[in-house]
Amino acid sequence: MSDYTSRVLEEVRAKNANEPEFLQAVQEVISTIAPVLDAKKKYEDNCILERITEPERTIIFRVPWTDDKGNIRVNRGFRVEFNSAIGPYKGGLRFHPSVNLGILKFLGFEQIFKNSLTTLAMGGGKGGSDFDPKGKSDAEVMRFCQSFMTELQRHIGADTDVPAGDIGVGGREIGYLFGQYKRLRNEFTGVLTGKALNWGGSLIRPEATGYGTAYFAQNMLATRNDELAGKVCVVSGSGNVAQYLVEKLNQLGAKVVTMSDSNGYIYDPEGITPDKLAWVLELKNVRRGRIKEYADQFKSAQYFEGQRPWNVPCDCAFPCATQNEINGAEAATLIKNGCKLVAEGANMPTDLEGINNYLAAKILYGPAKAANAGGVATSGLEMAQNSQRLNWTSEEVDAKLFGIMKNIHDNAYNHAHEYATGSDAAFTNYVAGANIAGFVKVADSMIDQGLV
Ligand code: NDP
Ligand code: 2IT
């Protein structure tokens, strides 16, 4: 690392000492963009690293609501408006008990570069609450969402900040949030994405993150004249991203043998076929049940309580649950068991040691901000349709998503090779490529717009 990157990293560490996930995300980006910073002094001259690691605005608010027994409950709400150099703040809302400022800052920071890679005009933001939707009635979730939006509405808008879903925020929550926004502001605008089709949503948005991750994996494999057909795939998570990734992997002829939730994973050596996946969708999205039930329903499967699926031998691994779900030892186990590709549906699912293991083994590694960008890209397409007051067909949206994922892949690939030197030159380091490509567009835009 150069003097500039080391100094800024030290300053960021000192200022944000109690935000380990944010520091991890910053370290990963800064350590890989050093060649660009060395080659072009304008970034240091304009203090771009110091500015890009500080959110433009952070909003923290009280969210009071009443549960079904009439008890008063209080949660904390957040919106981190990180960077608006290339468009309105854009990024999801996460409702999970683990949510705190540091986690949302890591997610918002990642979102800056991810959104830049999509080629669409979207800045970076993220928000959410430590509210836990698990075990709550629909009425409780609605009252919480209404209270959350009562404060959030004054900070967002179709040209200002456009939230969407993330962990714990799906179609139900977006509906309640949108309803309250419309009621308070008396306007029907594309202020949220992930809406239902009847009221401004886009076809393929629910599928987009998972489909996009599969498309990214296809593109990586193509560089080695390989394809997904016939590959044994290990997937974690069983929520929105995992569900549609499994659907697409099945369509592309791969065999998916695991899914998980925060309690454990199921291993089905015969594959999670389309009919079994349909059962999983009903289990998770309608009954809101646990993945454990899969092993009761399908006798070919076994359930492993309290474990993650990374010791299952596979050709390809797709972490789609949460941050830091693969550590250095688990990454080493994947590689030892023959895994040749990791594509990240979740945000920052591999820790820094794990990433170093992938890079040392020279496997195909698609980092989150590139591999899962199809979700937010399709949110960008939803915004475009809302502005036009038109709806595109699913074929049109899917074709655009496919093109965007190829473009992100090629952009990361080309930037990786432009800056790779010596023995690294033949290997595609998509981490460096994605970070550099995402960074340059935002940093140049910040310079164009002066010191704001
Ligand atoms: P969902 O809430 O639909 O599903 C989350 C899944 O991950 C569930 O199976 C959940 O299990 C599991 N999970 C959540 N937290 C943990 C944890 N701490 N430990 C183990 N398992 C956990 O969320 P999404 O599918 O939307 O999001 C999954 C990941 O993908 C996240 O990292 C998110 O940031 C990322 N992502 C999402 C996008 C989107 O469009 N939705 C776009 C890009 C990235 P359980 O039910 O037990 O909590
Ligand atoms: O992490 C992500 O990219 C998302 N949760 C989706 C964000 C969005 O605005 O669609």
Rounded average pLDDT over 265-285: 98
With a 6 Å cutoff on the Cβ, whether 433 touches ligand 2 is: no
With a cut of 90, say whether residue 134 has pLDDT above it.
Answer: yes
Rounded average pLDDT over 115-131: 98
With a 6 Å cutoff on the Cβ, whether 112 touches ligand 2 is: no
Ligand 2 center from residue 82 Cα (angstroms): 14
Q: Which numbered atom of ligand 1 lies nearest the CA of 372?
A: 43
Alpha-carbon span 102 to 449, nearest angstrom: 28
With a 6 Å cutoff on the Cβ, whether 368 touches ligand 2 is: no
With a cut of 80, say whether residue 422 has pLDDT above it.
Answer: no
Q: What is the pLDDT of residues 342-353, one digit of tens each?
A: 999 999 999 999
Among all bound ligands, the one having the nearest atom to the CA of 235 is: 1
With a 6 Å cutoff on the Cβ, whether 375 touches ligand 2 is: yes
Mutating to test ligand 2, I would choose from 109, 111, 404 the residue with most ligand atoms within 8 A of its C-beta, which is 111
Among all bound ligands, the one having the nearest atom to the CA of 163 is: 2
Q: How confident is the model at residue 156 (pLDDT cuts 50, 70, 90)?
A: very high
pLDDT score of 304 = 98
The length of the chain in residues reads 452
pLDDT score of 130 = 99
Written as six digits, the tokens of 381 are 């397409």
Residue of 191, 132, 204, 183 lying closest to 163 (CA atoms): 191
Rounded average pLDDT over 359-383: 98
268, 300 Cβ separation under 8 angstroms: yes
Alpha-carbon span 197 to 200, nearest angstrom: 6
Rounded average pLDDT over 174-190: 98
pLDDT score of 450 = 98
Burial annotation 257-280 (CB, 10 A radius, 16+ → b, else e): bbbbbeebbbbbeebbbeebbebb
| Type of residue found at 239 | G
pLDDT score of 368 = 98
pLDDT score of 425 = 82
Q: Which numbered atom of ligand 2 lies nearest the CA of 114?
A: 3
Ligand 2 center from residue 92 Cα (angstroms): 4
- The C-alpha angle 437, 341, 370, rounded to 5 degrees, equals 25
Q: Which numbered atom of ligand 1 lies nearest the CA of 348?
A: 32
Catalytic residue among 90, 126, 248, 276: 126
Q: What is the pLDDT of residues 32-76, one digit of tens each?
A: 999 999 999 999 999 999 999 999 999 999 999 999 999 999 999
With a 6 Å cutoff on the Cβ, whether 90 touches ligand 2 is: yes
Alpha-carbon span 204 to 200, nearest angstrom: 13
Handedness of CA 297, 298, 299, 303 (dihedral sign): negative
Burial of 167 (0-12, 13-18, 19+ CB in 10 A): buried
Q: How confident is the model at residue 299 (pLDDT cuts 50, 70, 90)?
A: very high
Alpha-carbon span 130 to 99, nearest angstrom: 5
Tell me how crowded residue 71 is: count the other CB atoms within 10 A of its CB: 8
Element (H, E) at 360: helix 352-361
The position carrying tokens 């879903």 is 165
Residue of 93, 124, 116 lying closest to 193 (CA atoms): 93
pLDDT score of 8 = 97
Q: Supply the residue whose CA is at minimum distance from atom 29 of ligand 1.
A: 346
Written as six digits, the tokens of 354 are 């794990």
Mutating to test ligand 1, I would choose from 24, 107, 166 the residue with most ligand atoms within 8 A of its C-beta, which is 166
Rounded average pLDDT over 154-163: 98
Alpha-carbon span 408 to 416, nearest angstrom: 12
With a cut of 80, say whether residue 320 has pLDDT above it.
Answer: yes
Ligand 1 center from residue 244 Cα (angstroms): 12
Q: What is the pLDDT of residues 76-103, one digit of tens each?
A: 999 999 999 999 999 999 999 999 999 9
pLDDT score of 2 = 81
Q: What is the 3-state secondary structure (H, E, C) of 382-409?
A: HHHHHHHCCCCCHHHHHHHHHHHHHHHH
Written as six digits, the tokens of 286 are 């309608």
The helix/strand/coil state of 291 is coil
Q: Supply the residue whose CA is at minimum distance from atom 3 of ligand 2.
A: 376
Rounded average pLDDT over 333-341: 98
What is the Cα 281 distance to its own chain's centre? 20
Mutating to test ligand 1, I would choose from 308, 320, 322 the residue with most ligand atoms within 8 A of its C-beta, which is 322
pLDDT score of 65 = 98
Q: What is the pLDDT of residues 212-268, one digit of tens each?
A: 999 999 999 999 999 999 999 999 999 999 999 999 999 999 999 999 999 999 999
Ligand 2 center from residue 283 Cα (angstroms): 24
Average pLDDT taken over every residue of the chain:
97
pLDDT score of 423 = 66
Among all bound ligands, the one having the nearest atom to the CA of 90 is: 2
With a 6 Å cutoff on the Cβ, whether 376 touches ligand 2 is: yes
Among all bound ligands, the one having the nearest atom to the CA of 111 is: 2
With a cut of 70, say whether residue 108 has pLDDT above it.
Answer: yes
Alpha-carbon span 177 to 188, nearest angstrom: 13
The position carrying tokens 């359930």 is 303
pLDDT score of 182 = 98
Give pTM, 2 decimals: 0.98
Question: What DSSP state is assigned to residue 313?
Answer: -
- The yes-or-no answer on residue 41 being catalytic is no
With a cut of 90, say whether residue 424 has pLDDT above it.
Answer: no
Q: What percentage of the chain exceeds 70 in pLDDT?
A: 100
Distances 110 to 30, 80, 105, 257, 406 between C-alpha atoms, Å: 12, 12, 8, 29, 20
Which residues' Cβ are closer than 6 Å to ligand 1?
165-168, 170, 209, 237-241, 261-263, 320-322, 345-347, 372, 375
